[in-house]
Chains A and B, each alone.
Chain A
């Protein structure tokens, strides 16, 4: 007990040893460094995820290739050349040629244009419609909300693939716009549900209540709190939905309801390649490879985005 150090006696310091520094109000209000915004923080977190960044750049590369190759290639994607049918990959034809002598390298990238365009556009359309619908339902509430959500419930009780098939038959889809219509006609339902529940959750949160109490007009609450807080969720959702659309398009083309020749897509190319699989496996290999690669990239990037934008969800 005697080992305990005693406090220094109070007469060890004289009042003169202390100096009043004072508090400078102007100084303390200044930011020492630039404030970290939400998006800046998200970008920093996204950058730390090497896999997601790699996926992003690979996607960028694929997109550039789909734009550039059909423009620069010496071959036309629809031009048939019966003298060079079914050639294995060579210096002239990097991915070989198909059974009508069309250059597969050009065709794969032309198909990529269609596949990626459908994937991205489809996800964007679905997100836009879903946001507006879910937002309106959440904003008005009451019977409007109930009616709108019942409609969604009925629409989503039909298997999605069946709706797509039926719609493509009815629209006789062969062009990209009709294909997109068929795929998005009920595709927005899950997004609407998601947006609605997120918006309801936000409108019940403390900071929105605080804003309301302070007399912030409703429109400003929607613009300032509801939309930015839902946006991250929607961005992540779009990223995860793109592969779904690419896959649906591949399925439709595979069945014969999708893009019609001479135009093509990865699904259509894979389907055409399947017929020659036993003897010319390269015809199926390349389009399938790019479907898988693109879907993989979007999934990885979506994982990265989710972790970056929504720290709560991170495990």
Chain B
């Protein structure tokens, strides 16, 4: 197990390094320099001073080495648009906000989705199944920004129950979480339904029924446990998406999270912030994937042995 973990960890570091390198060279391959991209008619002298200040006048190789060194020290660069705003500070201050919203909506969406999936599978082709599947299909086909806009319109304008935008109090969390729940609920309901349907046809369920195990116990002990395993793969990629998945929701509800800053950095063409946040997002994603691999190996010995060999 330890060997497996270390192997995955080493692999993860290599991947992260490659991604950082590629991203760096991609960003620096943009024609023109970042200063000109932001401010059009700057006097030549001012431009040179700015270029020297951010080190853009150095050869690309020197810039790269400097960047990697800074990254290793935990310094991911500084905003070009707002001098003094460091990427690492943005992450430190606003990642928890994104984490709360994303984590909460994933937890709620996951629970409801799994329950709906089981309910649908156990009532196959009856009305609860059909109702849940219709909701699930609608949930996957309607874009998030539409759901968000409609909910915002209905619950803040038509029936003013919740505040439109803002952050700081519990009531501000409700609407964004509600919008972000829809996707996970739909995905997990569909996934869990087919997984349960697979499990129900297994021989051990028949055995359990034959030896007189109660229906409730079959569902909780046999069906749930075994059909839950494949969902772990899904939840890990969802966890990876917690921080990057809420871009639109955060900008619609004006929540000061990472996604909002990422979007505004894109619109400002603030390359250093985009680069830094991109590395953070990728790092979180890869880390979540690593956790997922370990979790899978812990719960399913077959994976552990096929990888260890």
What residues of chain A have their CB less than 8 Å away from a CB belonging to chain B?
A: 153-154, 157-159, 161-162, 165-167, 169-170, 172, 243, 247, 250-251, 254-257, 270-271, 274, 277-278, 281, 284, 288, 291-292, 295-296, 299-300, 315
Chain B residues 129 to 154 lying within 8 A of chain A, measured CB to CB, are 137-138, 140-143, 145-146, 149, 152-153
A54 to chain B, nearest CB (A): 14
Query: Which residues does chain A contribute within 8 Å of B278, judged by CB atoms?
Result: 162, 165-166
Query: Which residues does chain A contribute within 8 Å of B157, judged by CB atoms?
Result: 278
Task: Report whether B244 and A274 are in contact in the complex, using a CB–CB cutoff of 8 Å.
Answer: no
Chain B residues 36 to 67 lying within 8 A of chain A, measured CB to CB, are none
Task: Report whether B142 and A292 are in contact in the complex, using a CB–CB cutoff of 8 Å.
Answer: yes
Query: Which residues does chain A contribute within 8 Å of B207, judged by CB atoms?
Result: none
Among the listed stretches B210-218, B262-270, B301-309, which one makes contact with chain A, having 4 or more residues with CB under 8 Å of it?
A: B262-270
Query: Which residues does chain A contribute within 8 Å of B281, judged by CB atoms?
Result: 159, 162
Are A299 and B267 also in contact (CB < 8 A) when A158-B282, A170-B27 are? Answer: no
Are A159 and B197 also in contact (CB < 8 A) when A256-B267, A270-B146 are? Answer: no
Closest 6 CB pairs of A and B: A295-B141, A288-B146, A296-B141, A292-B142, A157-B15, A159-B285
Task: Report whether B146 and A292 are in contact in the complex, using a CB–CB cutoff of 8 Å.
Answer: yes
Candidates B15, B26, B138; contact of A166 at CB < 8 Å: B26
Chain B residues 1 to 28 lying within 8 A of chain A, measured CB to CB, are 15, 18-19, 23, 26-27
Mask, B259-288, CB within 8 Å of A = 1, is 000010011010100100010011001100
Query: Which residues does chain B contribute within 8 Å of A255, judged by CB atoms?
Result: 247-248, 263, 266-267
Which A residue sits closest to B285, measured CB to CB?
A159
Determine the distance from Cα of A299 to Cα of B140 in the docked complex, in whole angstroms: 9
Task: Report whether A154 and B149 are in contact in the complex, using a CB–CB cutoff of 8 Å.
Answer: no
Q: Is B289 an interface residue (CB 8 A)?
A: yes
Q: Is B30 an interface residue (CB 8 A)?
A: yes
Query: Which residues does chain A contribute within 8 Å of B29, judged by CB atoms?
Result: 170
Task: Report whether B269 and A169 are in contact in the complex, using a CB–CB cutoff of 8 Å.
Answer: yes
A45 to chain B, nearest CB (A): 19
Which B residue sits closest to A167, measured CB to CB?
B26
Task: Report whether B149 and A169 are in contact in the complex, using a CB–CB cutoff of 8 Å.
Answer: no
Task: Report whether B146 and A277 are in contact in the complex, using a CB–CB cutoff of 8 Å.
Answer: no
Q: What are 16 residue pairs bridging A and B, where the CB atoms are less than 8 Å apart in the complex?
A: A162-B244, A166-B23, A166-B26, A166-B274, A170-B30, A256-B267, A257-B266, A274-B252, A278-B153, A292-B138, A292-B141, A295-B140, A296-B137, A296-B141, A299-B140, A300-B137
Mask, B193-219, CB within 8 Å of A = 1, is 010010000000000000000000000
Give the interface size bracket for B toward A: 35 or more
Are A299 and B143 also in contact (CB < 8 A) when A159-B281, A162-B278 are? Answer: no
Determine the distance from Cα of A292 to Cα of B143 in the docked complex, in whole angstroms: 7
Given A296-B138, A300-B137; 12 other pairs, CB 8 A cutoff: A158-B285, A169-B30, A243-B141, A247-B143, A251-B143, A254-B145, A255-B263, A255-B266, A274-B145, A292-B141, A299-B137, A315-B197
Task: Report whether A165 and B194 are in contact in the complex, using a CB–CB cutoff of 8 Å.
Answer: no
Task: Report whether A161 and B244 are in contact in the complex, using a CB–CB cutoff of 8 Å.
Answer: yes
Determine the distance from Cα of A56 to Cα of B194 in the docked complex, in whole angstroms: 24
B99 to chain A, nearest CB (A): 16
Query: Which residues does chain A contribute within 8 Å of B289, judged by CB atoms?
Result: 157
Determine the distance from Cα of A315 to Cα of B195 in the docked complex, in whole angstroms: 11
Task: Report whether A165 and B266 are in contact in the complex, using a CB–CB cutoff of 8 Å.
Answer: yes
Determine the distance from Cα of A167 to Cα of B263 in the docked complex, in whole angstroms: 14
Q: Is B96 an interface residue (CB 8 A)?
A: no
Query: Which residues does chain A contribute within 8 Å of B247, judged by CB atoms?
Result: 161, 251, 255
Are A277 and B153 also in contact (CB < 8 A) when A166-B23, A291-B143 are? Answer: yes
Q: Is B163 an interface residue (CB 8 A)?
A: no
Are A159 and B241 also in contact (CB < 8 A) when A288-B146, A292-B142, A299-B141 are? Answer: yes
Mask, B174-190, CB within 8 Å of A = 1, is 00000000000000000
Task: Report whether B27 and A315 are in contact in the complex, using a CB–CB cutoff of 8 Å.
Answer: no
Candidates A243, A257, A281, A315; contact of B153 at CB < 8 Å: A281
Q: Is B240 an interface residue (CB 8 A)?
A: yes
Candidates A154, A281, A288; contact of B143 at CB < 8 Å: A288
- Centre residue among B140, B145, B252, B269 by max chain A CB count within 10 A: B145
Determine the distance from Cα of A292 to Cα of B267 in the docked complex, in whole angstroms: 26
Are A270 and B145 also in contact (CB < 8 A) when A159-B285, A170-B27, A315-B194 are? Answer: yes
Are A157 and B19 also in contact (CB < 8 A) when A270-B146, A292-B141 are? Answer: yes
Are A277 and B149 also in contact (CB < 8 A) when A315-B194, A315-B197 are? Answer: yes
Query: Which residues does chain B contribute within 8 Å of A169, judged by CB atoms?
Result: 27, 30, 266, 269, 271, 274
Task: Report whether B285 and A157 are in contact in the complex, using a CB–CB cutoff of 8 Å.
Answer: yes
Determine the distance from Cα of A247 to Cα of B248 in the docked complex, in whole angstroms: 12
Determine the distance from Cα of A170 to Cα of B34 in the docked complex, in whole angstroms: 12
Determine the distance from Cα of A153 to Cα of B11 in the docked complex, in whole angstroms: 11
Are A158 and B137 also in contact (CB < 8 A) when A256-B267, A257-B266 are? Answer: no
Determine the distance from Cα of A165 to Cα of B26 in the docked complex, in whole angstroms: 12
B105 to chain A, nearest CB (A): 17
Which A residue sits closest to B198, measured CB to CB?
A315
B237 to chain A, nearest CB (A): 9
Candidates A159, A250, A256; contact of B282 at CB < 8 Å: A159
Task: Report whether B197 and A274 are in contact in the complex, using a CB–CB cutoff of 8 Å.
Answer: no
Task: Report whether A254 and B248 are in contact in the complex, using a CB–CB cutoff of 8 Å.
Answer: yes
B137 to chain A, nearest CB (A): 6
Query: Which residues does chain B contribute within 8 Å of A247, judged by CB atoms?
Result: 143
Query: Which residues does chain B contribute within 8 Å of A270, judged by CB atoms?
Result: 143, 145-146
Query: Which residues does chain B contribute within 8 Å of A299, judged by CB atoms?
Result: 137, 140-141
Which B residue sits closest to A296, measured CB to CB?
B141
Query: Which residues does chain A contribute within 8 Å of B269, judged by CB atoms?
Result: 169
Determine the distance from Cα of A270 to Cα of B144 in the docked complex, in whole angstroms: 12
